[in-house]
């Protein structure tokens, strides 16, 4: 029986992740993560936000179908009301 090497397990798990940048900060996510999933992770679900992916605005209607890819540059801007 082969023993488990913790270092190998961590590296293997990291290989299953993608790295993106959100508002300039690195973030590791599972492959097949959508923009909707990202907003949930950021606790921004249901909030009025604008999302830019690789310098292009992504319409809200496409957040659920837009899958993030390794290396994506994401900018999330939250609308704040006031008067």
Structural domain total, the chain: 1
Residue 22 lies in a domain: yes
pLDDT in the model for residue 79: 83
Average pLDDT (38-46) is 96
Residue 29 lies in a domain: yes
Residue 1 lies in a domain: no
pLDDT tens digits for range 16-32: 899 999 999 999 999 99
pLDDT in the model for residue 10: 55
Assess whether pLDDT exceeds 90 at residue 14.
Answer: no
Residue 50 lies in a domain: yes
- Residue 20: give its domain's CATH number: 3.10.20.30
Residue 17 lies in a domain: yes
Long-range contacts of 44-50 (CB under 8 A, 24+ apart): 44/76, 44/78, 47/78, 47/79, 48/78, 48/79, 49/76, 49/77, 49/78, 49/79, 50/76, 50/77, 50/79
Assess whether pLDDT exceeds 70 at residue 72.
Answer: yes
Average pLDDT (71-79) is 95
């Amino acid at each position: 029986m082969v023993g488990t090497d913790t270092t190998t397990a961590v590296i293997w798990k990291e290989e299953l992740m993608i790295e993106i940048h959100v508002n300039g900060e690195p973030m590791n996510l599972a492959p097949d993560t959508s923009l909707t999933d990202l907003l949930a992770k950021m606790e921004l679900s249901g909030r009025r936000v604008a999302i830019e992916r690789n310098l292009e605005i992504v319409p809200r209607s496409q957040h659920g179908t837009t899958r993030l890819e390794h290396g994506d540059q994401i900018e999330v801007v939250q609308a704040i009301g006031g008067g």
